[in-house]
Amino acid sequence: MNLERDAASPQALGSGRALRLQAYGGTDSLKVDTVHAPEPGPDQVLVQVKAAGINGMDWKVREGYLREKFNLALPATLGIEMSGVVLKVGSNVKDVSVGERVMAALGGLGAYADHLVINAEKLVKTPATLSDIDAAAVPVAAMTAWQVLQVAEFDLRGKRMLIHGAAGGVGSFAVQFAKAAGAVVYATASTKSVAHVQALGADEVIDYQKQEFELVASNIDLVVDLVGGPVVDKSWAILSQNGILVSIAATDVVARAPEGRRGVWFSVKPDTARLATIAQQIADGSLRSVIADVVAFEDLAEAIERNRTGHAPGKMVADFTR
């Protein structure tokens, strides 16, 4: 055995857990199965997953809303981001070593498993001062928040923004990135989350349980929709003349745009260099990552349902070591 490239063979590792979707539906459609550790290909890495972020994508896939985008062969392991330690590297991998701590957005499914095979190019090394739990909360939320602001393709300094769903994992990062870019930030949040979003730096936080956002915000240059539903249709009227509404929640946002209004559907793209920068900002304290709750692997199915129905501000993470 090559100890520099192989910490343990899959046979030595044996089996591990995987939370797999058995059929489209509710919480009962998810089951923890025992599966063998996979073997990495030449350009891949075998990772022992230590923690994984919980996302809205999980329950949307579970219920079949995205079956046209994800042609899944069931049973399928859910989970789209993780942190862990490298167990084995493929023969072509040069920049990742056995024993290194790593984090990644998968660009697909499979993070809810003890062992994961992933292309080495997708990995970012976890900063030494960042815990596995904190690292697992970053890749999808932070990269989505960063990239959704770039869609506008204009300088945000002095521009007026409205972020719908600002208390969640993506929203918490989006508020911070927008303020750092010099925007005037309006944000919507529930009553219990108003103080949290204010602490992130939003200029005006609109309690959607008590106020109609369209009566508070106006002449908005960029609306970031992280919620979907009726807020999309209510947001067109508050856009400035050249304003843009970017949504990660409403796949039909372009079709719903009235004449003279611009709507953009957004999907995050891999950018390991930017992710590495963001991870270091969190590690050195210049950027906040907010953890709403940490659950055990066995509680993942229930946590995915809580993500659907509502939870505390920030991001939920599953700790595989519990």
147 plus 245 within the same structural domain: yes
pLDDT of residue 9: 45
User: What mean pLDDT do residues 248-261 have?
Assistant: 93
User: What mean pLDDT do residues 197-214 have?
Assistant: 97
Give the pLDDT confidence of 298-318 residue by residue, as tens digits: 999 999 999 988 767 889 999
pLDDT of residue 3: 33
99 plus 125 within the same structural domain: yes
The pLDDT-based confidence of 13 (bands split at 50, 70, 90) is: low
Give the pLDDT confidence of 157-204 residue by residue, as tens digits: 999 999 999 999 999 999 999 999 999 999 999 999 999 999 999 999
Least Cα distance to 183 among 217, 158, 205 occurs for 158
243 plus 313 within the same structural domain: no
Is 271 among the domain residues?
A: no
pLDDT of residue 184: 98
pLDDT at 231 over 80: yes
User: Which residues touch 101 (CB under 8 Å, ≥6 apart)?
Assistant: 83, 84, 85, 86, 125, 126, 132, 135
Is 273 among the domain residues?
A: no
Q: Which residues pair with 19 in a beta bridge?
A: 32
Give percent above pLDDT 70 in the chain: 96
pLDDT of residue 4: 40
pLDDT at 69 over 90: no
d(CA 105, CA 264): 22
d(CA 240, CA 143): 26
User: What mean pLDDT do residues 55-59 have?
Assistant: 92
User: What mean pLDDT do residues 275-294 have?
Assistant: 95
pLDDT at 278 over 60: yes
Give the pLDDT confidence of 87-126 residue by residue, as tens digits: 999 999 999 999 999 999 999 999 999 999 999 999 999 9
215 plus 120 within the same structural domain: no
Contact 48, 132 (CB under 8 A): no
pLDDT of residue 120: 98
Give percent above pLDDT 90 in the chain: 86
61: which 2 tokens?
A: 């896939």
Q: Which residues span the domain enclosing 119?
A: 10-138+289-319
User: What mean pLDDT do residues 277-299 have?
Assistant: 96
CATH for 126: 3.90.180.10
For residues 66 and 294, the model is more confident at 294
Residues present in the chain in total:
322
17 plus 126 within the same structural domain: yes
**Count of structural domains, the chain:** 2
The pLDDT-based confidence of 6 (bands split at 50, 70, 90) is: low
pLDDT of residue 311: 67
97 plus 156 within the same structural domain: no
pLDDT at 70 over 80: no
Q: DSSP labels for 242-308?
A: EEEEEESS-TTHHHHPPTT-EEEE------HHHHHHHHHHHHTTSS---EEEEEEGGGHHHHHHHHH
29 plus 95 within the same structural domain: yes
129 plus 164 within the same structural domain: no
pLDDT of residue 67: 81
77: which 2 tokens?
A: 């392991």
Contact 175, 163 (CB under 8 A): yes
